[in-house]
Chains A and B, each alone.
Chain A
């Protein structure tokens, strides 16, 4: 037992040293971007422009959807991110705002400034394969009304946005029953292989041309304008005016044709967004170099981030769960409550739990660590409890009759006997953690989830494997590590 404790202390101090290093006193300007290619490209452009007048700039890519970025911005976890006027009006201010002036005033109340439009309108639209549209003779969205049998695959955000499916369905009186929510990037593939007929698209999507898609006319003018703008914190103008004037050069300078072609380069030609962005800003006379890290360097970086997530969540979970498991064992009255509660936590879908954490802990690694911590509880608590519970009665009674105090009875006899079970619980938690941590990338926690996320977005299988394969190997390594640890920690008398 004491060996296990030494080990935990060692891991704790390692994790602490790691966090201590990451603290930084200089203000870092953080650019955020949503989890779709255009957002990432704009984020890269802003990041590079800002980087030209200030050294400490960081780009937090692929941070999920509007809600996550908006709350990160008003909480100061990011300073800048590209957004669309329609989204701000409909999604953030719930459709109560009409004019752009009103919009600016409302944003200022949150301490947020909005740039002038960048020059293109990326509105929502519905699209079908051209041949399919011909087959049904569909030109505009109202034509869908006649074809109830069509299958709709809509991006998850669109499904429940104010300016998304619910309003669209009402406006056009659409009665399709087969409507599925899915990842936007996967929707194109579904369209291509015929499993769905209609998807929502962004009008600047490069795929429209590539996949031969018919954009259905919004004949009832349902969709508002989605002019691209930059949102940034007011404080930035005061403290780092150079950064602001640098990024505002984009105002009116990104025409629709440029955006579509940049999207095509990134999504179809698979040129990294950084390179696309670097080429674009050359026209402002800025030279920024795009250096793509080598595979090994990327792997090392993701591995470090991933292991950090797993360790920093697992160690406190172990330290917390073992005493809780002991409590459940000793106090029969509350054991059902404890085991039930940890069981309920386990049933919360991981993505939901991650998003619940954002209002409490913001974005980045902490909310992910908190979620992973919660997920680690059940296997350890339950195994501690059952390990103690399953000690044979005659051994328990022999210990009881010796005349040890309860603490020493627990420490010298019961815990060592439960150790194989406890260790198995920790192993289960660790392996689950390695897998679940890949979702952390959705809220900016990094790790192996990052290349997976980018890979899904770009439909780039090698990139997905760049995250998925190391994650699987890490899970195996963790398993192997614990098998080895068992040999050192579990006394010979208990090994079978």
Chain B
């Protein structure tokens, strides 16, 4: 499902969070929104979910304009994963994942089959399904959160800093697993991150934002080779590699 954002603007009180943004998010591709804090990337992804309304502009998903009345149905075609996981603490992992399927009246067999499938896909150990979120590690929580997002096999996957709070080793592992999932499932993925190397790793297309506007979008190589302005140059430069020449020579 392609998503077209047309001339989206959003203000909080007097501060402009998004200023006339237009993006085409391609079907089956991974689009990464990146930028410094306050650039509007999270606001944008939350506008796509309908959590906050845009002041101006329109969102067209699969050729249809997003409106309040069919938001509930549309959301069942979206999976959403956030940094904190957003798991419901009163429900065991299994119930967190199966909640919507039960609500929609899936049979028990169908639910169990799907969960087994998802455990394999997300490499989540089946014996963890009986645990409450508080009993899971950070990485496991994100895997469960991903399972919940994928349960109904949605067309669109929205991820807001999904790996932001994980420690580096687990983060590395999950990055690999996630990329494999995206490649296999061919979903339309929109991911928000502030880490350029993560963006480079996942993205088919990068959208670099600053102060509520898009500075440049395209492939990572395009951003590196032909930066649109000095901000792009310094943003790329700011992603310091530890293998900087002077340190290796020490």
Contact = CB atoms under 8 A, between A and B. Distances in A.
A493 B90 contact: yes
A398 B80 contact: yes
A401 interface: yes
A394 interface: yes
Interface stretch (A267-275, A313-321, A408-416): A408-416
Nearest to B71: A403
Contacts of B100: 402-404
B49 to A, nearest CB: 5
B22 interface: no
Contacts of A419: 90
Contact of B75 (A402, A412, A491, A493): A402
B73 A403 contact: yes
B38 interface: no
A394 B84 contact: yes
A419 B46 CA distance: 28
A492 interface: yes
A397 interface: yes
B51 A494 contact: no
B192 to A, nearest CB: 14
A219 interface: no
A413 B102 CA distance: 14
B185 interface: no
A417 interface: yes
Nearest to B145: A398
B92 A403 contact: no
Contact of B82 (A394, A416, A417, A493): A394
B133 interface: yes
Contact of A493 (B51, B86, B99, B134): B134
Given A397-B51, A397-B82, A403 B88 contact: no
A398 B99 contact: no
Contact of B88 (A400, A405, A408, A413): A413
A412 B78 CA distance: 20
B20 interface: no
Interface string B219-240: 0000000000000000000000
Interface string A459-496: 00000000000000000000000000000000111100
B225 to A, nearest CB: 37
A416 B78 CA distance: 25
A401 B75 contact: yes
A493 B92 contact: yes
B103 interface: yes
Contacts of B75: 401-403
Interface string B34-64: 0000000000001001110000000000000
A334 interface: no
B30 to A, nearest CB: 19
B86 A398 contact: yes
Contact of A403 (B76, B82, B89, B133): B76
A166 B99 CA distance: 71
A401 B99 contact: no
A400 B51 contact: yes
A417 B88 contact: yes
B91 interface: yes
B72 interface: yes
Given A398-B82, A398-B86, A417-B88, A405 B134 contact: no
Given A403-B75, A405-B72, A493-B134, A398 B103 contact: no
Contacts of A405: 72
A92 interface: no
Contacts of B133: 493
A94 interface: no
Contacts of B83: 394
Contacts of A417: 88-90
B80 A493 contact: no
A334 B90 CA distance: 29
Contact of A494 (B76, B86, B90, B99): B90
B132 interface: yes
B62 to A, nearest CB: 16
A300 interface: no
A491 B80 CA distance: 25
Contacts of A397: 46, 51, 82, 86
A74 interface: no
Contacts of A412: 99, 103
17 contacts: A394-B86, A395-B89, A398-B80, A398-B87, A399-B88, A401-B49, A401-B75, A403-B72, A403-B74, A403-B75, A404-B72, A405-B72, A408-B103, A416-B90, A491-B91, A492-B132, A494-B89
Nearest 7 pairs of A and B residues by beta carbon: A398-B86, A493-B132, A403-B75, A403-B76, A401-B80, A491-B90, A416-B90
Interface of B: 46, 49-51, 72-76, 78, 80, 82-84, 86-92, 99-100, 103, 132-134
